[in-house]
C-alpha cells in the first residue's frame, strides 16, 4: 500500500537529532514558550523573509489572531476562497467577522485580484488568500488591490512553507502570514502548532499579548482581550530540527511533481496542476471528471489518494453563502491529490503513473 501521507517517516528520518533536541527540552524548565520557541520564531521568520515570528497553538489560531491583531472583527467581511480547509473560514468566524467567498482561478485554483474585487462590499475589511496546495497566489496583484481599497491582507500560508513568488519569499507578502505546523504540512510538528509572521513591530507586540491572556511587557496583567494559544517547546524543538531540511524537501517535492507531469501528460481525462517555479507542492492534485471512481480504482491497486476539499466551504452549514462559485464547485468535484510527500512518493511515481495509464488510457 502506498500511503497518501506518512509524517511519522519524516520524524523517523531525523530521529537522532529530534531525540537530542527533546532531551534538552525535557531536562529544562520551559515547556511552553521560552528560549526554544524564541529560537524557532526567529529562525522561521528569517527563513520566510520576515522580521517577526509569533508561535501560536495552530494554523487556525494564527489566522484568527492575525485578523484580531489587525482589528478585523464584528461587522466586517473577509474575502477568501471556498476551496480550502475549514480552518480558514473558522478563523474568520472566530473574530466575529463574516467570510465572503471569491471565485478561484480554474488554473491556479486560488482567488485573484479580479474575483476578490467582485466580492468586495462596503463592509469588507480584509483579504485572506490561500496558497492552495503550495501554489503561490498573485500576491503582487492582491496587495495592490488591498492598498487601493484600504484592506488588510492575512495570507493563509498553511500549505506554502518555503514557497517563493519570483525572487521573493511568498510568506513576506501581506500584513501578516499565517502558518500551520500540523504534522502533514511541508513543515510539520507532532501536535498542533502555528505561527504568524509579520514585518510590523506593533502587530508583533499585539500578537504576543493576544496569544497569552492579553499580557504585555512580561507583566501578568490582562490589558486587553487575550487567549491561551502558545507554541510549546517540544514542537518548537522539532520544528527547529526540521526547518533546515525544508528547502531540500521542497526541492524533492518539485522533482516528484516534474516526474508526475512528464508521466501523466496526454493521459485521457487527467488535468494537471499549475506549474510555478516557486511552488512547493503541498499536494499534487490532478483533476478527473470521474474523480471518485478513479480514487477507488487507485485504491484497488494499493495507491492511497485524498480529496481536498469536498464540499467547498460555501456549502458548509457554518459558512453558507448564496453566491454561485461554478469553478470552485467543479474543482471540488474533480480534484484528487496523489501521493507527493517525499517519504511516501519517492520510488513510486512511475508505478502510480503506470496505474493511472492503465485505468485512463492514452
Ligand X SMILES: Cc1ncc(COP(=O)(O)O)c(C=O)c1O
Give 230 or 264: the residue with its C-beta nearer to ligand X: 230
Neighbours of 257 (CB within 10 A): 23
Instruction: Report which of 14, 69, 54 is spatially closest to residue 189, judged by C-alpha positions.
Output: 14
Residue 230: CB minimum distance to ligand X, A: 14
Residue 282: CB minimum distance to ligand X, A: 8
Residue 172: CB minimum distance to ligand X, A: 18
Integer Cα distance of 292 and 184 in angstroms: 23
Give 205 or 307: the residue with its C-beta nearer to ligand X: 307
Instruction: Report which of 232, 246, 233 is spatially closest to residue 23, judged by C-alpha positions.
Output: 233
Give 151 or 155: the residue with its C-beta nearer to ligand X: 155
Give 341 or 355: the residue with its C-beta nearer to ligand X: 341
Residue 132: CB minimum distance to ligand X, A: 7
Give 133 or 260: the residue with its C-beta nearer to ligand X: 133
Integer Cα distance of 336 and 291 in angstroms: 6
Give 112 or 267: the residue with its C-beta nearer to ligand X: 112
Give 174 or 270: the residue with its C-beta nearer to ligand X: 174
Residue 184: CB minimum distance to ligand X, A: 8
Residue 236: CB minimum distance to ligand X, A: 15
Integer Cα distance of 79 and 18 in angstroms: 39
Neighbours of 322 (CB within 10 A): 5
Give 63 or 267: the residue with its C-beta nearer to ligand X: 63
SS3 assignment, position 44: helix
358 Cβ contact list (under 8 Å, min separation 6):
none
Residue 193: CB minimum distance to ligand X, A: 7
Q: Is the peptide bond before 311 cis (omega within 30 degrees of 0)?
A: yes
The continuous run of DSSP H or E covering 338 comes out as: strand 335-338
The distance in angstroms from the start CA to the end CA of the chain is 25
* Residue that the C-alpha cell 507578502 belongs to: 173
Residue 324: CB minimum distance to ligand X, A: 23
Residue 347: CB minimum distance to ligand X, A: 26
Q: In what order do the strands lie in the sheet with 194-198?
A: 52-56, 194-198, 176-180, 152-156, 124-128, 77-81, 98-102
Give 250 or 353: the residue with its C-beta nearer to ligand X: 250
Integer Cα distance of 337 and 251 in angstroms: 19
Integer Cα distance of 22 and 101 in angstroms: 42
Neighbours of 24 (CB within 10 A): 12
Binding region for ligand X (CB under 6 A) = 58-60, 84-85, 87-88, 130, 156, 158-159, 180, 182, 192, 194
Where on the phi/psi map is residue 4: left (φ > 0), alpha (ψ -120 to 50), or beta? alpha
Amino acid at each position: 500500500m502506498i500511503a497518501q501521507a506518512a509524517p511519522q517517516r519524516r520524524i523517523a528520518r531525523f530521529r537522532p537529532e529530534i531525540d537530542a533536541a527533546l532531551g534538552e527540552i525535557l531536562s529544562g524548565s520551559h515547556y511552553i514558550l521560552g528560549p526554544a520557541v524564541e529560537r524557532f520564531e526567529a529562525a522561521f521568520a528569517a527563513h520566510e523573509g520576515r522580521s517577526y515570528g509569533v508561535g501560536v497553538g495552530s494554523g487556525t489560531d494564527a489566522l484568527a489572531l492575525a485578523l484580531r491583531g489587525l482589528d478585523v472583527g464584528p461587522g466586517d467581511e473577509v474575502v477568501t476562497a471556498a476551496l480550502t480547509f475549514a480552518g480558514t473560514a473558522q478563523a474568520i468566524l472566530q473574530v466575529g467577522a463574516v467570510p465572503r467567498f471569491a471565485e478561484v482561478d480554474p488554473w491556479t485554483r486560488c482567488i485573484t485580484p479580479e474575483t476578490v474585487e467582485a466580492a468586495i462590499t462596503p463592509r469588507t475589511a480584509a483579504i485572506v488568500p490561500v496558497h492552495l496546495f503550495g501554489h503561490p497566489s498573485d500576491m503582487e496583484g492582491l496587495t495592490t488591490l488591498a492598498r487601493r481599497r484600504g484592506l488588510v491582507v492575512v495570507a493563509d500560508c498553511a500549505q506554502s512553507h518555503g514557497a517563493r513568488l519570483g525572487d521573493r519569499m511568498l510568506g513576506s507578502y501581506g500584513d501578516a502570514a499565517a502558518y500551520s505546523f500540523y504534522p502533514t504540512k511541508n513543515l510539520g510538528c507532532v501536535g498542533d502548532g502555528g505561527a504568524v509572521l509579520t514585518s510590523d513591530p506593533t502587530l508583533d507586540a499585539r500578537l504576543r499579548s493576544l496569544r497569552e491572556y492579553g499580557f504585555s511587557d512580561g507583566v501578568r496583567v490582562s490589558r486587553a482581550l487575550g487567549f491561551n494559544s502558545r507554541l510549546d517547546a517540544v514542537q518548537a524543538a522539532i520544528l527547529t530540527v526540521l526547518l533546515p531540511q525544508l528547502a531540500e524537501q521542497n526541492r524533492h517535492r518539485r522533482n516528484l511533481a516534474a516526474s508526475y507531469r512528464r508521466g501523466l501528460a496526454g493521459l485521457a481525462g487527467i488535468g494537471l496542476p499549475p506549474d510555478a517555479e516557486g511552488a512547493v507542492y503541498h499536494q499534487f492534485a490532478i483533476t478527473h471528471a470521474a474523480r471518485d471512481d478513479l480514487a477507488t480504482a487507485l485504491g484497488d491497486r494499493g495507491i492511497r489518494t485524498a480529496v481536498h476539499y469536498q464540499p467547498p466551504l460555501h456549502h458548509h452549514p457554518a459558512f453558507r453563502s448564496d453566491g454561485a462559485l461554478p469553478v470552485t464547485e467543479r474543482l471540488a468535484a474533480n480534484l484528487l491529490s496523489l501521493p507527493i510527500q517525499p517519504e511516501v512518493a519517492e520510488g513510486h511515481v512511475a508505478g502510480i503513473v503506470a496505474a493511472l495509464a492503465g485505468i485512463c488510457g492514452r
